A and B are shown apart, each in its own frame.
Chain A
Amino acid sequence: MAEEFEPKIVAFLCKWCSSAGSDLAGVSRMQYPPNVIPITVMCSGSVSPLYIFSAFNKGADGVLVSGCHPGDCHYIKGNFYARRRIALVKKLLEYVGLEPERFQMSWISAAEGVKYTKVIKDFVQELKPLGPQKKLRRTQ
């Protein structure tokens, strides 16, 4: 009897908004599935497409990039660059045949613990029916 598939997710959270939002979710003791391993970066604008490819390459079933709301960036405009870059990466990933659900971007402020919880819950739910990501995974 196979266990239910548990997707592995890497989340790149900006330090000032989304990581702080995830801290707030913790302080408020909100509950969400433990499938996500967050990596706190300074700004969503610092998330290089290579990080995203690298995560899929190393076996991530889903990747989330989350930053401050547009216009609210701690670094003034880093998240605008992130938005443009991520839109391109998303298209590219779809082009090579990756399910679009596997790569997501969200805007989560330091005050949005509830939103963080919801984003993670929804993401895990969306990934479950897809099964393991094999398209970009390095096979060895």
Chain B
Amino acid sequence: MKRTGVFVCHCGINIAGTVDVKKVSEELSKHSGVVHAEDYIYACSDPGQNIIIDAIKEKKLDNVVIACCSPNLHETTFRNAAKTAGLNEFQCEIANIREQCSWVHKDMEKATDKAIKLTRSAVQRVRRNEPLEPISVPVTRRALVIGGGIAGIQSALDLANTGFEVILVEREPSIGGHMIQLSETFPTLDCSQCIMTPKMVEVSKHPKIKLMTYSEVQEISGYVGNFKVKILKKPTYVYADKCTLCDECTKVCPVAVPDEFNLGLTARRAIYIPFPQAIPATFTLDIKNCPGLLPIACGKCTDVCEPGAIDYDMKPEIVEEEVGAIIVATGYDLYEKELLTEYGYGKYPDVLDGLQFERLLSASGPTMGKVLRPSDHKEPKEVVFIQCAGSRDPELHCAYCSKICCMYTAKHAMLYKHHVPDGQAYIFYIDIRSGGKDYEEFVQRAVEDDGVLYLRGKVSKVFEDKGKIKVWGVDTLAGKDIEIDADMVVLATAMRPSKGADELARKLKIAMDKDGFLAEAHPKLKPLESVTSGMFLAGAAQAPKDIPEAVAQASGAAGKAISILSQERLYHAPTVAEVNVNLCTGCGMCVQVCPYDSLSLKDGKVEVNEVLCEGCGTCSATCLRAAIQVKNMTPLQVNEMIKAALGG
């Protein structure tokens, strides 16, 4: 029979105040197989740990149970103590008699009885625990960053500057994301392109960064430290190294489609460069809008391309890469126009979203930085800004706060006033959320220096009336209805996860929250990690974020990735599934339910990839014959625990 030791912690009076620790220790000493039981005031203290270590050595204990606080707190402490004494770490288990007992009950007799059952249950488990060693695997010391916005760029640069190779994948023809579309950035009003382009150039010139634009991640397999990625490189039909950016092709292209970079405020050709500073600096032929890749269909661009950079025969290419860590920085998109009909968005040309307005303000924008109405190119004298357009509206739209809109609306109104000093800016708001360094001062500046009129209330209706856009709203502070004949309306449209992020999340097997943003592993303590080890989150893909926050998270995610890539080998919890080949009939039911694809059928039996397995145990609950079980949480152990829990 295995020799078990039990140690009951008082935790001062945290446990001893409600649980009769002496009695627990006494009762456990009578439990079959327990050869040592004692209580101590603070088991986690140095003397407390020494008592455990000495007892293991002196009484030749095979395993120990510490009845104390939650295993989330001191399991590692006590397992290390057990290791010091020569045991395997899995020969130590915790009975949580504080959070799950002494702190939630007042009746001493009943709490003591429960503590005894909890401790017995842990004893029954630990006696059947196998000693296990962590599973070790070598690490592929390269990283993949998905998304070439500011977050992805920052992560890629941090990784590359630390010396690791990075593959940066961006689905659009250029990196830059939404930040490159912005005019000036709050609260300092630096020009967005001026601070963004140096980073983009650094990416393009960095010897450690392999940039793959116009590419999408198609398939991912593997596990932390050793992912295999298939990346689809869509054909651009233009050789970047041959293209001289002479722009002759766009002059002859007969196609005009809305320009994504300017959010439809201008048109572009089927062959185009998204914006002058695009990285890579080359043209892309958008096949969806091209009349046809045959000289007979059009072929004008190839005719004028002197360097012969255009190749209609370019084919999609699948590139396979191996990486050790992945950072997902897929960013955001604006709330869909079709869903936000109450403000005339998508219906009236002079009702704009925040990003369109950024383009109007931008020196490189369609109006060269002049604020003009898209409908008649006149300067708007009355502009209404509507905050929370789609945000904080659980009945109709998104329940969450998009976080950045209060600040960028203040900026929009301020910049509008800088462009049109004799104009008037109105902002309808629910609350102004300006938490952040120098943010509150920035909002005050908009109000005091630029005379922006803040109206607390919601807008009920926006409609066209005699060349004006009539805005009906309410000022709840004055208790008055408000009617404004505006020349332009700008909506602070809600941020949504980037389109296609859900599909990617499913490929990566990372979870999404209820709103479709990528879920972090813990809301407070693991904000950079996804639930899948080795995959990290950066930027607005995880939740609405402004630039400094996205950059901070991106650097943090890079740091997390580096903590993996800097290791020669990785260690993985060994409490994984195990197959009893004598019982396995190869029915394959467990293979189907495994969330990590860690099971496969080989020669009619199930095989476990121990590195992929996370030990969730879904397979064991599915198996009709108990042929697959998770080590150290076997059905036999659970059964024994149930028995002890019920006082049997």
Interface residues of A (CB under 8 A from B): 8, 10, 20, 22-23, 25-27, 29-34, 37-43, 45-51, 54-55, 58-60, 71-78, 81-82, 85, 110-111, 117
Contacts and interface: CB of A to CB of B under 8 A. Distances in A.
B72 interface: yes
A74 B523 CA distance: 13
A42 B616 contact: yes
A36 to B, nearest CB: 8
Contacts of A59: 646-648
Contact of A45 (B100, B121, B616, B648): B616
6 contacts: A10-B646, A20-B72, A22-B100, A25-B104, A39-B641, A46-B620
B646 A32 contact: no
B410 to A, nearest CB: 32
Nearest to A37: B645
B122 to A, nearest CB: 10
B103 A75 contact: no
Q: Which 7 A-B pairs have the closest CB atoms?
A: A46-B617, A26-B99, A37-B645, A45-B618, A75-B616, A26-B103, A48-B621
Contact of B646 (A30, A60, A71, A77): A60
Given A38-B96, A41-B633, A74-B531, 9 more contacts: A25-B99, A25-B104, A33-B105, A54-B638, A55-B642, A59-B648, A72-B511, A78-B617, A78-B618
A39 B630 CA distance: 16
A78 B509 CA distance: 13
Contacts of B642: 10, 39, 51, 54-55, 58, 60
Interface residues of B, number: 54
A117 B512 CA distance: 27
B523 A111 contact: yes
B79 interface: no
Contact of A81 (B618, B630, B648): B618
B99 A31 contact: no
A72 B110 CA distance: 34
B485 interface: no
A89 to B, nearest CB: 11
A55 B104 CA distance: 23
A34 B514 contact: no
B622 interface: yes
A43 to B, nearest CB: 4
Given A23-B72, A51-B642, A42 B121 contact: no
B639 interface: yes
B492 to A, nearest CB: 28
Given A34-B113, A37-B114, A48 B641 contact: no
Given A10-B646, A42-B630, A48-B635, A75 B614 contact: yes
Contacts of A72: 511, 513, 519
B100 A26 contact: yes
Q: Which of A37, A39, A76, A117 is most buried by chain B, counting CB atoms within 10 A of its CB? A: A37
Nearest to A75: B616
Contact of B615 (A27, A42, A117): A42
A10 to B, nearest CB: 5
Contacts of B70: 23, 26
Given A48-B620, A72-B519, A58 B643 contact: yes
Contact of B618 (A23, A29, A34, A75): A75
B123 to A, nearest CB: 13
A111 B522 CA distance: 10
Interface in B564-598: 575, 593, 595-596
A37 B646 contact: yes
